[in-house]
Chains A and B, each alone.
Chain A
Amino acid sequence: MGKRLLWSLVLSSVLSASWAQAAEKTAIQVMHQGDPGFVAAYGKVAERFEAANPDVDIQFIYAPHDAYNEKFSAAVMAKQLPDVMELDAPFLANYVWSGYLQPIKPLIDKDLLDDMTESNIAQGTYPIDKDLYAIGLTDSSVVLYGNKKYLEAIGARIPKSVDDAWTREEFEGYLEKLSKLDGVKWPIDTFRGYGIKTEWITYAYGPILQSAGCDLIDREAWKSEGTLDSDACVDALAMMQKWVKNGWVVPQSAGTNQFFAEGNPAALALGGHWVYAEAVATMKDNIVVLPLPKFGAKGASPNGTWIWAITKTSKHPDIAAKFISFLLKDKEYRAYVASQSGYPGLKSFAAESPLYANGGPMAIAFEQASKTAVSRPPHPAYPTITSAFMQAVDEAFNGGDPKEALTSAAKKIDEDIEDNDGYPPFGDGQ
């Protein structure tokens, strides 16, 4: 009897001790997106972090990619902001302007800050105060993938660097030739299968406009009318519309894998760096990676990806930053990202990624970052800018008038800016 009493005493004291320990833990909430592979990878990093910091409990909040901003808005309204949040770089200005994020330079490990590539610094920097608000292991780019067999069949010139990228005439000529080639169902896949309401549109097609000599918005006056509806933009959108009309582009309903699908129905692919990992599995060395064509005087390529920030409401910014630093340095996580053809945003990670090293298959993509990358407009009106542009592209791709589509997009953007009194201090220094 006495023994049993003793045991139960011991047991309850052990239990209460462990309870107490659980209660002492600091909870850090991390909001993120990502496909199942990445979600699993984050989970494992958190386990390792908790093992190293037993007093911290990492809690993940998953938000699906396509509705991420909506979910984040809900969190803002419910006053339940996470400590750490992943965000898509072009939306950074909106978040900082709205007052959700805090500068992270003093919090993140210094060696990581020194390790950042220029375009990584650019994607995490708010243009008004030039302060760093977010950091990522990766950046991103879009390149032109080619099916070697088909390109050789039409005798296409294979550029060796960004500087000798195809011109508009070459590119359109090749599309025409490819359209007549046996085995090619569609000359190019521009990944319309991602949908008509996805950031992909602005991310991948925006640079075509920029290369043609225009932009989504004037980046000094922060006014869209006169820029997005300018002749250069209309001409660029009309050019894309022509590709679609001619049946050169994989239609949206055909899915997103026509470049590396069985039989290779698409000869070229205007695709993100992540496509390489998917394509190489089936196409082996039949892929060539080409720089994005020059549609005007200069080349342009996109950058920016999902990066990590700390919210202003976080009660433990130091621990949140510790987790971000831990994540970006985690060896196994880096190995996983590298296996997904992750685009280096840290110099040390670039060194670990032979894919992007000089002579590597994706070297051209990395070269674009320093030579042609143009960020999406870092302006708080970005949610409207991108939504309006998506709408215009959908109009044009389905036969609408490009001039009308872009004019109404430009109007919509300017109205939003006007509604918010110009998003001060933006536009003050014009």
Chain B
Amino acid sequence: MVMQQSISSASVRKAPARRHDRGRLMQEAAMLAPAMILLTLFLILPFLLSFWTAMTNQPLVPRPTPVRFVWFNNFIRIFQDDLFWTALWNVSRFTFWIIPAQCGLAFVTALLLNQKLPFRNLLRGMFFLPAITSMVVVCVIWGTLFQYPTGPFNQILGFLSGGAIQPIDWLGDPQWAMFSLVLLSAWQAYGFQMIVYLAGLQGIPDELYDAAKIDGANALRRFWHVTMPGLRPTHVFVLVITTIQAFKLYTQVAILTQGGPKSSTETVVHYMVRSGFEEQKMGYASAVSVILFVIVLIIALIQRQLLRRFDV
């Protein structure tokens, strides 16, 4: 009955709309215009420009020599540069580590903070605090924590192991540098994923839990058969957001390691900034940015596929 009503009212509304098609189109265009203009100005145009720049030898600042079209020369050079591949490999490594670390941490804290704990909101605020602290500040503080050989981390490790663990050169050892950045980054940013998970958890209707209880499911089974399926879209969203963010790793590198030691923390964005601003090769840096765009685009497309498969 309700359905019938809505259908009939829709068809009633449809008829005059057809008559004023053009007027409506104009109206829609006018409403879209501000967004489209802004999008074009700040997103589409810059991207086209960077694609254009990527095919020239444009320097950072004006120079006496002419700017030339070099077509795909920059891209060829980037692909031939070992450092670029190292950077790409490093970012992939970082992503591979940060997803379990950051999302796992976020998931566990979200589960804990979803319980009816005293001071729950205060705790949530506390756990979220690092996420709104400037990464620069976090890096400076962690830089001191990581210090070799006398920094707090090394002292704690030494104390706990009774001196068995030798001090680790967290940021100066190619074996450890990227791992240290993973630790720091996971700690700084997991608050965001935690909030998303909390929202996801609260989106699962209580009725489902009640029904499961009546059916005699224990806590573990409720977790596996109610919580986890209910969080599926959240998992996918968090996974994709974390991956994309991980590919943009820059601040930590710029402040703590400058890409070293032995290029073990060089990242694509850091490589781009280095060629654009230090070596003053804007064209080359633009080419790197185009490549990064394509990579992130591919990730976004995979995201869409995943979302579709999970019927979200």
Interface residues of A (CB under 8 A from B): 69-70, 73, 76-77, 97-99, 195-197, 251-254, 383-384, 387-388, 391, 394-395, 397-400, 408, 412, 415-416, 419-421, 423-424
**Contact between B174 and A398, CB atoms less than 8 A apart:** yes
For A424, the chain B residues whose CB sits under 8 A away are 64-65
**Contact between B148 and A253, CB atoms less than 8 A apart:** yes
**Contact between B174 and A421, CB atoms less than 8 A apart:** no
- Report which residue of A253, A254, A394, A397 has the largest number of chain B beta carbons within 10 angstroms of its beta carbon: A253
For B174, the chain A residues whose CB sits under 8 A away are 398-399
Within the complex, the shortest CB–CB distance from B151 to chain A, in Å, comes to: 9
24 contacts between A and B (CB under 8 A): A73-B60, A77-B60, A98-B62, A98-B64, A195-B258, A196-B261, A197-B278, A251-B148, A251-B172, A252-B261, A253-B147, A253-B172, A387-B278, A394-B262, A395-B262, A397-B261, A399-B174, A400-B262, A412-B279, A415-B77, A419-B281, A420-B59, A420-B63, A420-B65
Within the complex, the shortest CB–CB distance from A354 to chain B, in Å, comes to: 38
**With the chains together, A42 CA to B70 CA distance in Å?**
46
The 0/1 profile, CB within 8 Å of A marked 1, for residues 41-85 of chain B is 000000000000000010111111110001000000100011100
If A97-B64, A391-B83, A400-B262 touch, whether A252 touches B172 (CB-CB below 8 Å) is yes
Across the interface, A394 reaches (CB within 8 A) one of B59, B77, B263, namely: B263
**Contact between B262 and A69, CB atoms less than 8 A apart:** no
**Contact between B281 and A251, CB atoms less than 8 A apart:** no
Closest to B148 in A: A253
**With the chains together, A387 CA to B285 CA distance in Å?**
15
Across the interface, B278 reaches (CB within 8 A) one of A99, A251, A383, A397, namely: A383
For B147, the chain A residues whose CB sits under 8 A away are 253
Q: Within 8 Å of chain A (Cβ to Cβ): is B130?
A: no
Q: Within 8 Å of chain A (Cβ to Cβ): is B139?
A: no
Shortest 10 CB-CB distances between A and B: which pairs? A398-B262, A253-B172, A253-B148, A197-B258, A196-B260, A398-B261, A76-B61, A419-B57, A394-B260, A384-B279
**Contact between B65 and A421, CB atoms less than 8 A apart:** yes
- Report which residue of A97, A384, A415, A420 has the largest number of chain B beta carbons within 10 angstroms of its beta carbon: A420
**With the chains together, A33 CA to B259 CA distance in Å?**
24
If A394-B262, A420-B65 touch, whether A253 touches B171 (CB-CB below 8 Å) is yes
**Contact between A408 and B65, CB atoms less than 8 A apart:** no
**Which label, helix, strand, loop or mixed, suits the secondary structure of the B interface?**
loop
Across the interface, A395 reaches (CB within 8 A) one of B57, B65, B169, B263, namely: B263
Using A399-B174, A408-B82 as known contacts, list a sample of 18 further A-B pairs with CB atoms less than 8 Å apart, ordered by residue number in A: A76-B61, A98-B62, A98-B64, A196-B258, A196-B260, A197-B259, A197-B278, A251-B169, A252-B261, A253-B147, A383-B279, A391-B263, A398-B262, A400-B262, A412-B279, A416-B279, A420-B65, A423-B65
Q: Within 8 Å of chain A (Cβ to Cβ): is B274?
A: yes
**Contact between A254 and B148, CB atoms less than 8 A apart:** yes
**With the chains together, A424 CA to B66 CA distance in Å?**
11
**Which label, helix, strand, loop or mixed, suits the secondary structure of the A interface?**
helix
Q: Within 8 Å of chain A (Cβ to Cβ): is B280?
A: yes
Contact-residue bracket for chain B: 35 or more
**With the chains together, A69 CA to B279 CA distance in Å?**
10
Closest to A396 in B: B262
Within the complex, the shortest CB–CB distance from B115 to chain A, in Å, comes to: 41
**Contact between A73 and B83, CB atoms less than 8 A apart:** no
Chain B residues 196-216 with CB under 8 Å of chain A are: none
**With the chains together, A70 CA to B63 CA distance in Å?**
16
**Contact between B280 and A73, CB atoms less than 8 A apart:** yes
Q: Within 8 Å of chain A (Cβ to Cβ): is B277?
A: yes
**With the chains together, A400 CA to B261 CA distance in Å?**
10
**Contact between B262 and A399, CB atoms less than 8 A apart:** yes
Within the complex, the shortest CB–CB distance from A87 to chain B, in Å, comes to: 14
**With the chains together, A400 CA to B260 CA distance in Å?**
12
Closest to A72 in B: B61
Within the complex, the shortest CB–CB distance from A396 to chain B, in Å, comes to: 9
Within the complex, the shortest CB–CB distance from A287 to chain B, in Å, comes to: 25
**Contact between A387 and B274, CB atoms less than 8 A apart:** yes
For A196, the chain B residues whose CB sits under 8 A away are 258-261
Closest to A388 in B: B279
For A420, the chain B residues whose CB sits under 8 A away are 57, 59, 63, 65
The 0/1 profile, CB within 8 Å of A marked 1, for residues 278-296 of chain B is 1111000000000000000
Within the complex, the shortest CB–CB distance from B222 to chain A, in Å, comes to: 48
Chain B residues 236-250 with CB under 8 Å of chain A are: none
Within the complex, the shortest CB–CB distance from B66 to chain A, in Å, comes to: 8
- Report which residue of A384, A387, A398 has the largest number of chain B beta carbons within 10 angstroms of its beta carbon: A398
Closest to B169 in A: A253
Chain B residues 121-139 with CB under 8 Å of chain A are: none
Closest to A94 in B: B280
The 0/1 profile, CB within 8 Å of A marked 1, for residues 144-170 of chain B is 000111000000000000000000011
Closest to B56 in A: A419
For B83, the chain A residues whose CB sits under 8 A away are 391, 408
**Contact between A70 and B260, CB atoms less than 8 A apart:** no
**With the chains together, A210 CA to B59 CA distance in Å?**
30
Closest to B172 in A: A253
**With the chains together, A415 CA to B81 CA distance in Å?**
12
